[in-house]
Structure 1
Amino acid sequence: MESKATERSVYVDVSKIPWEPTPFPGVEVKTLYRDASGRVTSLTRLAPGAVLPRHRHVGLEQSFVLEGTLVDEDGACTAGNFVWRRPGSVHHAWSPDGCVVLGVFEAPNEFLDAEGR
């Protein structure tokens, strides 16, 4: 990761971070920050029609949609809008038109089977 650090700040050149594939078709991620406690800040890109399968958030999850629309069972979050989920929340998410989302969460997300295990 390309970055410039000062005593107080770390500046990250996000354009130099490659999009990394995930196990889920059409879903890629750029990890901007991760620490030993599991706090993560990332960009997630979903291609049109891509799905993030059912999962549980171990901690607070915050998502700001930069482009497109992110949808789950509770509603749709469009570009320029923000959604957060409580610790322990379970959902799956998808994007009908593709999207890029800035996410802040505690890892790991627990991906579940159809029975929620």
Structure 2
Amino acid sequence: MPDDGPSKPFMRRRSTADEPSPPSVFLDAPNMPWETTKFPGIRMKMLLNDPASGMCTKLMRLEPGAGVRLHEHTAVEQTWVIEGRFLDEEGECGPGQFVWRPAGNTHVAWAGPEGATILGVFLKPNVFADGRRFFSQDRGGGA
């Protein structure tokens, strides 16, 4: 077996430090339950939530027309549309399309009439104009 091939996590060492390599985290996302959020018509599966940095990755399902109220991105946000359409005042993404927003971008986003399933990657929690908390903050992330 080549040196860079599969091995047991406890046997692998980091290349940049003299310590064990942290293990990968595998999730069975299709079989994870959809969780309700405080945002009407939006359910999610939290795939990664790092309370120390505020970074999180979420699979979100939006019912037709469901929206995310006015908010500002405090760091880069990345969104890949899996199904349906995801829109804001600046444009829209359909299946397989991708949009990223820079820190400081302020917008309202919503699902098209067919709804949407999206993968969102957030480096830090958003700030909502109405004081609502970000999706991950109730779970210990991004305080």
Give the TM-score of the pair, scaled to structure 2. Answer: 0.71
Maintained 8 Å contact 2:55/2:125: no
The yes-or-no answer on 1:26 pairing with 2:41 is: yes
Return the alpha-carbon distance in structure 1 between the equivalents of residues 100 and 75 of structure 2: 11
Return the alpha-carbon distance in structure 2 between the equivalents of residues 20 and 106 of structure 1: 21
Deviation at 1:49, TM superposition (A): 1.1
Query: Secondary structure, in 3 states, of the residue corresponding to 1:48?
Result: coil
Return the alpha-carbon distance in structure 1 between the equivalents of residues 95 and 67 of structure 2: 18
Query: Secondary structure, in 3 states, of the residue corresponding to 2:26?
Result: strand
Aligned equivalent of 1:3: none
Q: Percent identity?
A: 48
Deviation at 1:84, TM superposition (A): 0.2
Two-structure CA RMSD over aligned residues (Å)? 1.6
Return the alpha-carbon distance in structure 2 between the equivalents of residues 37 and 24 of structure 1: 23
Aligned length in residues: 109
1:1-117 aligned at under 5 Å gives the runs 6=9, 7-35=22-50, 36-96=52-112, 97-113=114-130
Query: Which sections of structure 2, spanning at least 5 residues, go unmatched?
Result: 1-8, 10-21, 131-143
Return the alpha-carbon distance in structure 1 between the equivalents of residues 123 and 109 of structure 2: 17
CA deviation digits over 1:37-56, x for unaligned, max 9?
A: 11111111100111111111
Query: Which sections of structure 1, spanning at least 5 residues, go unmatched?
Result: 1-5
Larger radius of gyration: 2
CA deviation digits over 1:92-114, x for unaligned, max 9?
A: 1011220000111123211114x
Flag the structure with higher strand content.
1
Q: 4+ residue stretches of structure 1 with deviation over 6 A? A: none
Query: Secondary structure, in 3 states, of the residue corresponding to 1:10?
Result: coil
Return the alpha-carbon distance in structure 2 between the equivalents of residues 22 and 111 of structure 1: 15
